[in-house]
Amino acid sequence: MDKKQWYLDIADREYGEYDDSWTYGPFNSEKDVERYLNNFSNPGGWQTDASGKEKPPTRSPNGRSVTKPR
């Protein structure tokens, strides 16, 4: 069975742009992402790559490294 990897991109301020966001991951499931998302206030909307064809990110949109969730 393939292990799915989930990632979360989220800006660090309200009304932040995608290019300002940090990437967190990998998570083992979408549910784990949802639980982690509870650490942020007013996270806004989201989307999921249902195709599973996107490659795992190597950098955050803001250019920083992907942050491992704690």
- Segment 59-63 shows an average pLDDT of 95
Task: Write down the pTM of the prediction.
Answer: 0.81
Whole domain around residue 18: which residue ranges?
A: 1-70
Contact predicate 66/23, CB 8 Å? yes
* Residue type at position 19: D
| pLDDT one-digit tens code per residue, 5-58 | 899 999 878 888 889 899 999 998 889 988 998 888 777 777 777 777 888 899
Overall number of domains in the chain: 1
Helix (H, G, I), strand (E, B) or coil at 65: strand
Tokens for 53, please give them: 């064809």
Q: Is the pLDDT of residue 1 over 50?
A: no
pLDDT of residue 3: 63
